[in-house]
Chain A
């Protein structure tokens, strides 16, 4: 299982870019952290999701 924003999904073996293509995330608006490390956008297609990975996908919202 791969945890994405706290939810576990069966994604092991898939590239990050392939997973993102299945979602409604706007690639221009997000940043991705994998196991505590930033994944640069240029590497999305090379990163293969592994069993036990923990991903955070974030964007900007209003704040003070």
Chain B
């Protein structure tokens, strides 16, 4: 945690810049993951309830952690709106990550439908965080639709391939006046660190942890990488020479005239 460096989303301030997913791993690991990640926000999905006795995931999430339900499974704006309303009815606050996919092979988000859902949900008082393909025009439309943050993908969901969309995320960071939270595809702490060095406001990760050898340890590694990248960004990165070299040592001669 960096002193007095808050991430503000929809009027809510967070010290952590690591949003944790809760999919594809045991509920029993959630508490350790949240603790080692230092996370203050965790994503959830909404699904048809099981009539068989099942554990309640909310029992495993430490108190004080903000819940960020997603609209995964939605194929258009209408379905996303329905899922968001159900999530709010489940009693988890007003945050929602809008996630709309028509494509089932690459799981790429549908920006147009996401803009429509963002507008409807923002109008209903939700804090809307749209997951999107990093396109500047679509991001501007999401801002105008009332988004509280923009969540561009780094590479396809669950791929752990890192910042395939690096240049386009940089454009969003430079041009959009909302937190840019890099979501999907970040596979390694070094990639999270790079995104933070670029000026991303936060990182969302799930599969990178769920498929790691030791989930809580990887959560800690991501936390450190995100904090390192944030400090580097706040510090201002050193310049890169276009050619030649620049000595780091004093250029006073010795041992010879």
Contact = CB atoms under 8 A, between A and B. Distances in A.
Size bracket, chain B contacts: 35 or more
A29 B57 CA distance: 9
A10 interface: no
B86 A61 contact: no
A59 B122 CA distance: 23
A63 B21 CA distance: 6
B47 A59 contact: yes
A23 B89 contact: no
A33 interface: yes
Interface in B35-57: 43-54, 56-57
Interface in B149-172: 157-158
Interface residues of A, number: 25
Contacts of B207: 64
Max chain A CB contacts within 10 Å: which of B48, B58, B157? B48
Of all A-B residue pairs in the complex, the 8 with the closest CB atoms, nearest first, are: A63-B45, A64-B206, A64-B21, A31-B89, A62-B22, A59-B49, A62-B23, A63-B23
Interface of B: 21-25, 27, 30, 43-54, 56-58, 69-70, 72, 82, 85-87, 89-90, 92, 157-158, 184, 204, 206-207
25 contacts: A5-B48, A24-B53, A29-B56, A30-B49, A31-B46, A31-B86, A31-B90, A33-B85, A56-B48, A58-B46, A59-B49, A59-B50, A61-B46, A61-B47, A62-B24, A62-B25, A63-B22, A63-B23, A63-B44, A63-B206, A64-B23, A64-B24, A64-B43, A64-B204, A64-B207
